[in-house]
């Protein structure tokens, strides 16, 4: 069975609770429920996780690599700073789609830089929480060889 791991970084547990003008009103639990249903309908297995700790994300990327799972990664602010996450993606040979709820390129300059983008297979940003659904659709298509 196709396996997809959705990994979320720091502060994304607050989604839907603060800054609704930037991040919308959906919670991470809402996103998980919708993606799980979509994955099930497509015959894929979905694991959804969030952590505020960089090392957890490194461990989970390595785990996804070992499992041969595709990864949808919203690394939050670690996107802009973490060489450790970038190294984990390369080391794990994981197929990663970088995801952002907001359009990071329309925001502060420091959000224009991504450590992950050069080693990601694709990027989706700026569609609100729909970015996750679009990334899932893209990843499933890639893994089906489309
Ligand atoms: O747009 C995205 O998905 C981000 O990855 C979200 C990160 C931010 O640091 C990135 O530049 C872009 C921040 C996640 C924080 O999420 C919050 C949600 C609600 C309230 C406060 C923070």
Give the residue whose CA is nearest to atom 20 of ligand 1: 18
Which alpha helices (H) appear in 3-145, and where do they start and end? 20-23, 28-41, 54-67, 83-92, 130-143
Q: Hey, where are the domains in the chain?
A: 2-143
Q: Mean pLDDT throughout 105-121?
A: 98
Q: What is the pLDDT of residues 134-144, one digit of tens each?
A: 999 999 999 88
User: With respect to CATH, is domain 2-143 assigned 3.40.50.9100?
Assistant: yes
Per-residue pLDDT at 128 exceeds 90: yes
Q: Is 18 in the pocket of ligand 1 (CB under 6 A)?
A: yes
Q: Is 12 in the pocket of ligand 1 (CB under 6 A)?
A: yes
Identify the pLDDT of residue 145. 84
Measured in whole angstroms, how far is the alpha carbon of residue 126 from the centre of its chain? 13
Mean pLDDT value across the chain: 96
Catalytic residue set: 23, 100
Q: Is 28 in the pocket of ligand 1 (CB under 6 A)?
A: no
Q: What is the pLDDT of residues 17-57, one digit of tens each?
A: 988 888 889 999 999 999 999 999 999 999 999 999 999 99
CB 9 within 8 A of CB 76: yes
């Amino acid at each position: 069975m196709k396996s997809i791991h959705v990994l979320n970084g720091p502060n994304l547990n607050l989604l839907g609770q603060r800054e609704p003008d930037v991040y919308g009103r959906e919670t991470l639990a809402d996103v998980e429920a919708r993606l799980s249903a979509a994955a099930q309908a497509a015959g894929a297995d979905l694991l959804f996780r969030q952590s505020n700790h960089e090392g957890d994300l490194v461990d989970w990327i390595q785990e996804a690599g070992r499992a041969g799972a595709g990864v949808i990664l919203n690394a939050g602010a670690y996107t802009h700073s973490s060489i450790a996450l970038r190294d984990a993606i390369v080391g794990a040979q994981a197929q990663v789609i970088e995801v952002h709820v907001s359009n990071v390129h329309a925001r502060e300059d420091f959000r224009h830089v991504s450590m992950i983008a050069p080693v990601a297979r694709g990027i989706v940003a700026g569609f609100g929480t729909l970015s996750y659904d679009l990334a899932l659709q893209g990843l499933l298509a890639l893994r089906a060889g489309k």
